[in-house]
Amino acid sequence: MTTLTTTIGGRTFENCMMNAAGVRCQSDEDLTTIINSNAGAYVTKSATPQQRAGNPSPRMKTLPKGCINSMGLPNNGLDYYLNFVIADQQQRPDATNFLSIAGTSLADNLSMLHQIQDSAYEGFVELNLSCPNVPGHPQTGYDFEQVDTTLNQIFDFYTKPLGVKLPPYFDLVHFDQIAEVLNKYPLTFVTTINSIGNALVIDPQTERVAIKPKGGFGGIGGASVKPTALANVRGLALRLNPSIAIVGVGGILSGEDVFEHILCGASMVQIGTQFGYEGVNLFDRLSKELDDIMALKGYHSIEDFRGKLKTFDD
């Protein structure tokens, strides 16, 4: 018998797969659908202090190997999601879920975390430091000093389980630098990667960009980002304190992709683009596919192979 159970920060999840923030998780109907599925947890759409309409449409376009988006942080505001997760926690006290927040300033992030600290919520918070699509606001995750300042101020008062959602890094020196900052703090997890930001997709027929916001610049997700995602999961797994779990995101379309993320060191995986295309049936399909791979290899639990990727130096 195989099990897809996983543990992060002392909390157990029956399944190591869940949605990625932003996809099919903006309304309470969306979230209830995930609760009633085979997913091990849900994460809410990244919240700002007040609700936001986001960027003008078209703001998402399907591509042959994924998608490009510049949604611009449309969400129903922190109160909406905090009320939802607290009500859910009262109904299912043994289930841990993820509340995502993405302030567009340090002050907004601090005020939201104060509100969460003072609330009854005991679940995980995923602090999104990597939204690529708000005009005029750079991704905090690319400014290592600002990440340090942000976490320093947060851990002055915040005592509940916290993780950060990171942008993809493309240089091993940057892996070293971000890991050095993150290792200073009692983070429960890091989620990696957000979409590959500020890419440009164009239609040569019409000679026009694919989406409207920011002159067509947007974040890429889906199949084409898997190698970058695996590199970030592996690069951080090799550098972070073992007490910081890794939630892997990026390019997951099959159970084999989940297997690869776990081999690189992920304790849990999130699926964004493909979950958007397939809905909650995705979790049944991927669970079966991962289960079959594990059974074939004689693995009983994900701990049998998590982080055990081989290189030519082994």
**Residues at the interface with ligand RRO (CB under 6 A):** 22, 46, 69-73, 102, 128, 130-131, 133, 194-195, 219
Task: Work out how close the CB of 218 gets to ligand RRO at its nearest, in angstroms, rounded to a whole number.
Answer: 8
Which residue is associated with the tokens 């081989």? 310
Biggest alpha carbon distance in the chain? 54
Burial 79-93 (b: 16+ CB within 10 A, else e): ebbbebbbebbeeee
Q: Which of 70, 130, 267, 287 is catalytic?
A: 130
Q: In what order do the strands lie in the sheet with 17-19?
A: 17-19, 268-271, 245-249, 189-192, 162-166, 124-128, 98-101
Q: For residues 2 and 194, which CB has a smaller minimum distance to ligand RRO in the complex? A: 194
Task: Work out how close the CB of 130 gets to ligand RRO at its nearest, in angstroms, rounded to a whole number.
Answer: 6
Task: Work out how close the CB of 115 gets to ligand RRO at its nearest, in angstroms, rounded to a whole number.
Answer: 19
Q: Which of 25, 67, 131, 264 is catalytic?
A: 131
Report in angstroms the alpha-carbon separations of 104 from 52, 61, 183.
Answer: 12, 24, 24
Report in angstroms the alpha-carbon separations of 304 from 189, 251, 284, 301.
Answer: 20, 23, 22, 6
Task: Work out how close the CB of 219 gets to ligand RRO at its nearest, in angstroms, rounded to a whole number.
Answer: 4
Q: For residues 15 and 130, which CB has a smaller minimum distance to ligand RRO in the complex? A: 130
- The strand pair at 189-192 and 162-166 is best described as parallel
Burial bucket for residue 197 (CB in 10 Å: 0-12, 13-18, 19+)? buried
Q: For residues 16 and 220, which CB has a smaller minimum distance to ligand RRO in the complex? A: 220
Task: Work out how close the CB of 284 gets to ligand RRO at its nearest, in angstroms, rounded to a whole number.
Answer: 25
Annotation says 130 is catalytic: yes
DSSP class of residue 143?
-
Annotation says 46 is catalytic: no
- Closest Cα partner for 22 from 70, 65, 57? 70
Catalytic positions = 130-131
